[in-house]
Chain A
Amino acid sequence: MMTRIDKTRGWAVTDPLKHSQALGGTMAFLGLNRSMPLLHGSQGCSAFAKALLTRHFREPIPLQTTALVQSTVVMGGEESLEVALETITTTLHPDIIGVLSTGLTEMSGDDSAAIVKSFSESRCGEDGPLVVFAATPDFSEGLERGWASAVEAVVSTVPEDGSTIPRQVNLLVGPSLTALDVEELHGIVKSFDLKPIALPNLSGSMDGHLTEDWSGLTTGGTTAVELKTIGRSEVTLAVGSSVFAAGSKLNNRFGIPALNYPRLTGLGAVDSFISDLSEISGIVVPGELMHWRRRLADAMLDTHFILGGVRVALALEPDLLLAISSLLDEMGAIVVAAVSPTSSPILDLIPCDEVKLGDLAELETRASEAGAELIIASSHARSIAQRLGAAHLRIGFPVFDRFGQQYQLTAGYRGTLDLLFSVANCLTSHDELRIHSGHVG
């Protein structure tokens, strides 16, 4: 049976679940090495985004603005964009500048793409940065779409032609994966004697590492050199539906076959990924991976008592909603409410009678009606969980009141195991609290 998608909404969005495209695009550009995302809009567009990203990642966030004011909007913001590109290039010498439009500049009709193109051309031959533009108006769609647009902009403009590089594999990842997830998947692919290039790669930039010197740019991520070669890979592995289109683009342009994985969370989902890798590489599954599979199976046995029958309400971005709700369903938990900020074809696959497109107020209503015992959502849902007396596992964006979020694995055998333990521990510690404060029964 296909999941019903409820798209009705009230007039006032209350406690938004949705995030802007520009924010999603910024996150994707943060996964490129020595890069500087640039929001073409008012200074608040980037200041707010920067503050929120800083709270989430607990990292300095390179992010600049074209700092439009009323008069520059009226006159056309193109000149401000040129000045910003020039200033960033000469003062910071980045390898990559990721330009993103905002609701303001999409509405005022700036031709940002043309400015970026002519700036890139004028810098051609010099040691200038790669400049990539993605249209990310915040009056349509949301975070996943913005991330996707940024990745698509990169694969459409940066890769160069050339002969196939043997055993090189593109690993395109969506925003549902944490920094350490990307590293985990990268390692898995590598263990099949393949040469993966992860795009974007937050595991090098937003993983929280202390470098020798302070830098105003990202200090890790996919490099410009790597990006130029992704058109010469043997195959593309796309993890998360939000990057399927980028895989298709690489296929159309360079004839690289793409394999799509809506999620890599859950035993069965990981199994097919590993089988494919074995087939692509011609290498038998490494012993270490087989051992992690055995550990995961054991973890499923250990935690199924706790997870079985638990009533869970989730509010997450579509790809993440699918990954987590499917795992819970496969563990015998009951997904009683699922809320997504934006539409996506994969919402049909969510194991819940109905998926609601909506905000966190919707989550509260539905979770309350369905008697949810566990809320899985961002830190913004903490007061909702409190009001409902439910356990709350912080996952998604933003998570600003827990440490180590980028080290929470969710993908692969090991990641699934890690996530299962997090869910189970969240429930047990919540129960202990309830018992101690006399709220049981």
Chain B
Amino acid sequence: MTLVKPIELFDEPACDHNRQKKVEDRIKGCPVPKPGATAGGCAFDGAMITLVPITDAAHLVHGPIACCANSWDARGSLSSGPSLNRHGFTTDLSETDLIFGGEAKLQSAILEIASKYSPAAIFVYSTCVTALIGEDIGSVCETAQEITGIPVIPVQVPGFLGSKSLGNRLAGDVLFNYVIGTSEPADLTPYDINLLGEYNIAGELWSVLPLFERLGIRVLSKVSGDSRYSEITWAHRARATMVVCSKALLGLARKLQESYGVPWFEGSFYGVSDMSQTLRSIAKLLGDPDLQRRTEELIVLEETKAAVRLSPYLDLLRGRRAVLYTGGVKSWSLVSALMDLGIEVAGIGIKKSTSEDLDRIRALVGEKSILIEQGTAAELLRIVNETESDILIAGGRNQYTALKSRVPFLDINQERHFAYAGYDGIVELAKRLHLAISSPIWGQVRAPAPWEKSDHQVNPSSDSSLTQIQLIADPE
């Protein structure tokens, strides 16, 4: 088996805990999961999250059935065109394949997909089992690419390398090493940007793109929500990169800067103030005074419009309390959005946050919020109860943690059904929060059954209570 040296994986200068001097401190930044007390996906999952949104590519999982069968057709990343990425492809390796090697089968599978579906590219994912037996998917991909003339890209990120966010990051490396810089765009403008780490969940990219269009900003490459393979090949030609809520793709942004001189910044589309700040940052990075002026005009217009649409919700949401449990960067970007709505953030998950994320959170909320290190279901519920919060905002995995305890819930992760980005998104977020918190069901499901009420007196004589009911039913 090909061992990946952990220290190479963790060498990411743009990530702040990697600036620690000692090797041990750097590795410590990404803790080893504890057997029997671990939640969350693996590195393979993370790689798929980053790459599967490339809509016109085929995504082929080289391994036994579980890795593909458990994960395909589950991602909320929407496409405006091709849907090849929605298919689940796998070599579905059998015991015999594992004994005699699955490389020949992999090659045949790639050729089959190439001829049946004519994909723009084929991404081939290794898995724990194929990594364990030392399958050389790199050379299979190389040969297949020669035969088919289609880019065939090895994604050697087996699940056991680590967490989901490590997988996100390694997928960024794959794009940098195999895809970016392999072709040139037909035309260029001074207003071309990249979006890294935006996955068009519930189509939320589509509430942001019109804003860019109005400013004359062109999104040259999206990594990778609603993207086509070709646009990623020329990401190196953008004039600026925005890293959207993704610590994991900072490495890719840094490499684009080092190799091609594309400046980058971290931003968020969530909340009025962050959305406006993001537009300002882009205009500033592109360095055009006229663009900056037009951006300020657009911001004034959009903020005014948003304020009008938000005002009915602000009265309803002001002073409400929320516990927010989500991934690293999303924690601060959403805190800002919630604060725009007048919601008090009583608790914030920081499991995946870096110390830089923590600084941002602190700057936003001061010392008031509880920082949640280990968000087990029981711990989250305890914090919701103790802070008398009105809602838990978290990933789908925690939905039933909340609902089973009769606590209102809002899904914020990749399986969600509503788009919260941009000025339109914040209005949607306000609406969904209000609907969740103020649903008429809460009173009903929280109340005990009439006969379970502590003050309920059972009449010793059942006959007489029957008579009473009859009397009510029949006034005569």
Contacts and interface: CB of A to CB of B under 8 A. Distances in A.
Interface of A: 10-16, 18-20, 22-23, 38, 41-45, 47-52, 54-55, 58-60, 64-71, 73-74, 80-81, 83-88, 91, 102-104, 107-108, 137-140, 142, 210-211, 213-214, 216, 380, 383
Interface residues of B, number: 75
Contacts of B98: 107, 139
B32 interface: yes
Interface in B365-387: 376-378, 381
22 contacts: A16-B68, A18-B65, A18-B69, A18-B92, A19-B69, A19-B70, A43-B40, A43-B41, A48-B67, A51-B74, A55-B74, A60-B404, A64-B36, A64-B37, A67-B34, A67-B35, A68-B160, A73-B160, A91-B36, A138-B64, A139-B64, A139-B93
A103 B401 CA distance: 30
A84 B36 contact: yes
B466 interface: no
A210 B400 contact: no
A385 to B, nearest CB: 14
Nearest to A81: B35
A214 B35 contact: no
A20 B38 contact: no
B108 interface: yes
Nearest to A20: B66
B129 to A, nearest CB: 5
Given A51-B396, A85-B36, A87-B36, A103 B160 contact: no
B392 to A, nearest CB: 12
A22 to B, nearest CB: 6
Given A50-B397, A60-B377, A103 B128 contact: yes
A108 B132 contact: yes
A86 B108 CA distance: 45
Given A67-B38, A69-B32, A69-B33, A44 B92 contact: no
Contact of A11 (B43, B44, B87, B112): B112
Contact of B91 (A13, A48, A214): A13
Interface of B: 1, 3-4, 6, 32-45, 60, 63-74, 83, 86-95, 97-98, 105, 108-113, 128-129, 132-133, 158-163, 376-378, 381, 396-397, 399-401, 404-406, 415, 445
Contacts of A60: 377, 400-401, 404
Contact of B162 (A38, A69, A211): A69
Nearest to A39: B66
B3 A48 contact: no
A91 B406 CA distance: 24
A14 B91 CA distance: 9
A59 B36 contact: no
Given A44-B159, A214-B377, A91 B37 contact: yes
B265 to A, nearest CB: 32
B202 to A, nearest CB: 15
Given A48-B71, A91-B37, A54 B400 contact: yes
A70 B42 CA distance: 12
Given A60-B377, A87-B36, A138 B65 contact: yes
B45 A44 contact: yes
Given A42-B159, A47-B42, A104 B132 contact: yes
A16 B88 contact: yes
A23 B159 contact: no
